[in-house]
Amino acid sequence: MIIDNQPDMYMQAAGDCVPQETVIEDVKLARAYVPFEIMCSTFMPLESLKKGTAFPPLYNAYGWERKGKGDDMYE
């Protein structure tokens, strides 16, 4: 097991951080908009490697882990 140095560096910044854009301006009808991701915190490097992303909001974004990790993720 590797102990990462400076774990504080990967933790969430002070205050309430929402990891995405919350207001989208100049919206028009019949258009699709994707809110911009904002980095609040990241996984530690080794956890990032195992999960495939450094960004917690992108991990298990479609909920496959709840259905049984590994077995049905490609169905």
Partner 1 sequence: MNRDEMLKKLSALDFYIIDLHLYLNTHPTDRDAIMKHNAVVKEARELREEFERLYGPLLSYNSTSKCPWQWIENPWPWQYKFNFDLAGDDK
Binding residues for partner 1, rule: CB under 8 A, are 1-2, 4-6, 9-10, 13, 36-39, 42, 44-50, 53-55
Report the residue number, 53 or 60, with the smaller CB distance to partner 1: 53
Please give the span between the terminal C-alpha atoms of the chain, in angstroms, as a whole number. Answer: 32
CB of 70 to partner 1, least distance (A): 12
| Residue 63 tokens, joined | 């909920």
Q: At closest approach, how far in Å is the CB of 32 from partner 1?
A: 18
CA distances 48 to 4, 10, 30, 69, 72, Å, are: 12, 11, 37, 17, 21
CB of 72 to partner 1, least distance (A): 20
